[in-house]
Copies of this chain bind each other. A is one copy, B any other.
Amino acid sequence: MSAEEIAELTARLRRLEDREEIRSLIAGYGRAVDDRDWESLTRQYTVDAQFESAGGRSVGVEAIIDYYRERTADYVASYHYPHSIEITFIDDDSATGLVCAHAELTIGGDTVMVALRYHDDYRRVDGGWRFQERTVHLLYVLKLSDLPTEFASRLRVRWPGTAPAVAHIGADVASGRTVDPR
C-alpha cells in the first residue's frame, strides 16, 4: 500500500469521524439550551461566531450567550430537537449544515411550537468542531392551541407579544402563492 493510498484512506476515515462529531455538536446544542447550560453552549461556538434568530443577529460568543440568557428567561421549560442533518464539507476544517428541527417553548404559560431549519457553518477549532454561524429560518411559530388551524396562514410566525409575520420558508412563501392571512 502506497503512502498516498494510506493518506487517502485516513482522510476519508477522518471525514466520517468529523460527521459524527458535528452530529454530536448539534445534539448537544439542544440539550445545552434546554438545560440553560451556558458553559457547554459557550464551548459550542467559536469566539467570533454569529447567531441569527428571532432577536436579530448576535456577534461573538459572549453576545450570543447573553442573547440566550435573556431570551430563555421568558421560557419556563423548553425542548429543542433536531430531525434530519445534512453536512457538506468545504475543506478539512470547515463545513456547512442544514438541520431540520422543532422547538417546544413555554412562554407566558402557553406552549409555543416552532418548526425551523438551521443553516449552519461549522469550524474545527483546537481539534473540536464548533458553530461558526447559525441562522434560523422559520416555518412557523405558533401556540400549540393555534397550530391545528394556523399553519396554513402565511402570517404564521407569531411570537407572543409581537405582530404576526410571514414565515421565512414554506412552499407558499417560495411560490408566492397567496394564502389569506388569518
Contacts and interface: CB of A to CB of B under 8 A. Distances in A.
Given A31-B100, A148-B111, A171 B5 contact: no
Interface stretch (A17-25, A47-55, A121-129, A157-165): A17-25
Contacts of A139: 77, 79
14 contacts: A26-B84, A27-B84, A27-B85, A31-B86, A34-B169, A35-B174, A36-B175, A76-B171, A77-B156, A77-B170, A77-B173, A82-B84, A104-B115, A106-B152
Interface of A: 1, 5-6, 9-10, 12-13, 16-17, 19-20, 23-24, 26-28, 30-31, 34-36, 72, 75-79, 81-87, 98, 100, 102, 104, 106, 109-111, 115, 117, 139-140, 143-145, 147-152, 156, 167, 169-175, 177, 179
